Structure 1
Amino acid sequence: MQIVETIILIISLLIVANIISHYFVSIPASLIQIVAGVIAAMTLNVKIMVNTEWFLLVFIAPILFNDGNRFPKKELWKLKGPIMGNAIILVIVSTVVGGALVKWLVPSLPWATAFTLVAVLSPTDPIAVQSIAKKAKLPDKLMHLISGESLINDASGLICFKYAVAATVTGVFSLRSATLDFFYIAIVGALAGAVMIWIFNGVRLYLINQGVDDSILHAIIQILIPFIIYYIAEDLLHVSGVVAVVIAGILNISSSRTTGAFSPEIRLVSSRTWDMLVYLLNGFVFVLLGIEIPFAMEELIHNDNMNTFKALGFAFVIWVALVVIRFIWSYFYSTFFERSDRTNFNLFSGTRFYYSLMSGISGVRGAVTMVGVLSLPFVTNSGAAFPARTLLLFIASAVIIYSLLGATILIPLITKSSAPITYRGNSINTDEDLDIDDEADDTEVVSTKTELTPNEANKVVLEKTISKLRAENLDNRDMVYTTVIAEYVFNLHNLQLKSNGPDPISKKRIKGKKDAELWDVCFNCELEAVEELYDNKKISEDGYDTAVKKIEKYKKGLVKKRYNQTTEFFIAYFRRTIRELTRFIHLPFVKQEEVIQYNHEAVIASVAGAKRALEKLRELEENDGEMAYDNLLYVFQRHYEERLELLQGKRRNHSEKFNVERINLEVNALSYQRAYVQDLLEQGKISRVTANNLRKNINYSEEVINFDIQ
């Protein structure tokens, strides 16, 4: 009962603190949460004993998994050099230099304890400055660097922290053993996280493939993933659960709208559920911090060798030292490793100085640091009290507060911006609730002769929207329209897969002799087109061989024995994984120019093959072949038309202007869908319940677009 009462109390304090923060926007919500915890500890005499293992499991796993899932993967790979430098080398340098400084400031502390304090201060909280990034005009590269760095240094810092705590508790430390163990638990932990998230991704995709698309169910599965992965890695495999959840988050199927396998409702519900969870966890951590501070201060007051003001001074010196170390490292790395002009070397640069200064101040400490310091054990293996535990807790808390205040005050001053700062877990989307008419008249009677099923109505709406967009796309040359149309065609294709009507076209759709005959005709046309391109020297020999092998592979598949749906799904999933791994392994050894040339030739060959096959299909149709093929010609034509649209979509430009225009067009397309739903309702072709369900999906899609923009 005490645990339940404690949870209710903390949630209540969190709610009150965040309500207050809406009236004092210039004060970070995290500081108000800390104050709420302090008041609760002083007035209600609340004291909470924290268990290290479950605390790391409950707080670390979901927070880091969510950070990895939300981080843009392209930027993570693009900035891998500076990110790894900041996350590993900077952490080591900070731990060594900072540990020596702490030992100098407090000589009575054991060396292992001094390093423990600095190691737990290594992880940074990137969300602390993201909300002011645009108004403050912080460089995008710096924001991506801080975010990517936090993923890795959370792992490296906490591993160092774990070893420092172990050395303090046991009194034994071997640098060689620690180094070997570090690489072992990190590498195996990364592999374990990758394998487990691959399994979870496969299960989730299989559920969708089987029609299990309950949005609440998928959200719960996503929430459970980091806890299961962390538990298996730590308790069963005895490797780093932190590294495992970070890698799992990075490789997790993204919740963005580019993941076509999941409906907009699933993606939106999952995103909002994660927002709520991280919001609560982050608030819990800072309220707990506030609850612990008075007890730490009480012990300091009774300590003859250390008082509160002296500890505050030490914490300020440590924070300044961490900022300076970070500044020096950033300036050093940008000067010697990121120079675009290798001939004209300039040691002093105002631009680099400004960038490095912002990098130093932006290294805010937050939730992960608090999770670590609150998980410090109370006793060592010998039964003695953990050395200066309350002092470490107080100094770490003070450094977090200094870093929060430093970012809050200094960043707006330097960038001449006054926007408030949002911290990890406090950046929850605050859009208004969906405007859905829940008062539908379920008893409305519509003629069963004309009423469409939900799938049929959705198909009609999508087809009308596609026709409307095509009519607006004059001469079929606007790449923005082509891209959006391709997305709608893809959605229509997925809808046809789930419908009870005729099967959509697929290379696995071989139900009779006529299907096989048409496929054979189409593949022969594609081969002729590829050979013509090669004869005219429009593609290279390698491009020709690749295209021919691909077509021959599909031709062989026409007569290959098929398995049941479940077996085919997992075979395809496994093959896709092998292809991705092969591409990832070969990519560093392939020149960028060769990759671009290969992709360009592949698109040319596929487009030419699709056009040649379409010409043949239309020729057969004109020669009264439609009846001979039982209306299959239309289905095959739609398949190749979709391929052309998808290929044109793949060649789209990803400039900022293009993305803005695409989003605007997507919003317009959703308004077309609403209009077509209303038309079907007024014509009596769908019930009010069906209309509301269709509107709900449209609203979900619009919410996903708005969520991605923010």
Structure 2
Amino acid sequence: YLTAEELHVSGILAVVASGLFVRFDRTGIGPNVARTNIVSSSVWGVLSFSLNGAVFILLGMQLPKAMSASWDDPGVSNVRLSIVILLVSLVVVTMRFLWVAGMLRLARDVNTGKRRKMTPARWRSAAVMTFGGAKGTITLSLMFTIPFTVTWGVPFPMRDELIFIASGVIVVTLLLANFMLPLLAPNRDRMAPEMTEITIEILRKTVEELTGRVDDENRRAVLMVIESYTKRITRLKQRVGESDPQGLERLQIEALHWEKDYLKSLLAELKMHPLDDAAEQDMRVEACERMMDDIMNTLRHTSTDSSSGHAVSQIRGRMRAFERRAENLGRRISSKIRRTTPLISEDEMFAHSRLLQLDVMEHVVDRLYEEMGRGTYRTEHCSALILDYRRAEGALKSRPNMGGSAKAIAQAEEIKRESYGIELGIIQDMLEAGDITRAQAKALRRNVFVMSVDADSSI
């Protein structure tokens, strides 16, 4: 900004250009790039949200004075000002649409190298980008850089009127976006059937690759990972024939919130009425908090919304999880140093966590039966979810409570990370073979990268 001002060009536009340059530099694929982009997007999302909020707070503080000066001026026609605002808004929208449509027409196809014709879908894309474009932050910033006076102290002509018109255009474009975007681009969270079939095929190939890597040392851990992939395949198969997959997904997310609320009540009860055995108290509290972290981690990634509010929620959730883990670690180290209570072993924690999971599952199943009686959710969705919880409950009860459980879990996490690498390799092979498009490969990679980050954060 300062360099541009010294060169007597627009400092605001220079800042925007530098931001575009930095954004285009964040390219590439891979787990490390994915982790960097996720963290960077969260940080920049919060900063962008804060700065945009500050800009519009300044707008609210300055507009009454600027608008009243123009609106109350008897020498300025209010009707003419309103007409100018509408005309400028029409010019802005028209120029945006022509520019975007022209860029879409001139852009070449990445596969054929030829320019593509403008189909109805591409015209609609141009309209979506037109109404979903910039909302006036830069325009407002430029208007407020207009000086109050020019040479020899003469007031800048029509400064208040220019700010009034710019503010009116911002309001009009905001209203147009709110009304037009839902009509042009309705929200479609439902996964396309072809994407579901592709995902199932990738998971099957991953299971086949994992099966070939089983040996005597990692047999149990690999089978645990294969079991998780089998459950994912089963859920996706159910969605293919499901008439309302979004309804079932909403109920699954609601069930996670029930689990979280149940754990919160348990933690509150333990804090209000601590147990006589300090070691048992610490074990129960840590088991609840670990499971709470897992549930919050899942809830943070159930939404595909990348808005700033979602980014803020992610950062707050991760900070709370970090605080809980640091508090537990400090408490356990202090106890070991003072020799007040024995250090909790991971095997004991695994066994206690399994009992806690069974209690939580039973609570959710009871809640689902209540919801079926109330008619809040569809009966078939409640029945399907009850069946899933019963299967998971049976699988937990059938596992032997042996001393190597914690070690097997750690080994399973390592194999899980390897399985994500296998998935990425299969996606790349399918892309090179022409079985999937680049857009599909990008969406599939994004899902794998998010799961890979979760696996790393849970260790």
Normalised by the length of structure 1, the TM-score is 0.30
| TM superposition score normalised by structure 2 | 0.43
